[in-house]
Amino acid sequence: MSLEAVEQGIAQAIEELLADPAKAVEVTGAIVSDDVLARLDQAPKLGRVVLESRSIEHPAFPEATVRTPLIVGLDAADEEIFGREHFGPISFVVATDSTEHSLDIFRRTGERRGAITAAVYSTDEDVLRAAELAAEDVGVSLSENLIGNIWVNQSAAFSDFHATGANPAANACLTDGAFVAGRFRIVESRRPVAAEGAAPG
User: How much is the pLDDT for 178?
Assistant: 47
DSSP 195: P
How far, in Å, CA of 150 to CA of 30, rounded? 20
From the list 167, 106, 113, the residue with the least C-alpha distance to 140 is 167
- Cross-strand partners of 143: 119, 190
Helix segments in the chain, DSSP class H: 3-17, 21-28, 34-42, 79-82, 99-112, 125-138
Q: Could you write out the three-class secondary structure of 131-150? A: HHHHHHHHCCEEEECCCCCC
User: How much is the pLDDT for 182?
Assistant: 57
pTM of structure? 0.80
Neighbours of 169 (CB within 10 A): 19
Q: Yes or no: say if 31 and 41 are a contact pair by the CB < 8 Å rule.
A: no
Q: Which strands sit side by side in the sheet containing 141-144, from one edge to the other? A: 117-120, 141-144, 189-190
**Regarding beta strands 117-120 and 90-95, do their DSSP bridges make them parallel or antiparallel, or are they unpaired?**
unpaired
User: How much is the pLDDT for 176?
Assistant: 46
How far, in Å, CA of 51 to CA of 108, rounded? 27
Neighbours of 22 (CB within 10 A): 11
Taking the chain (201 residues) in runs of 10, the rounded mean pLDDT of each run is 95 96 93 96 98 95 96 97 94 97 96 89 96 94 82 56 73 55 69 70 53
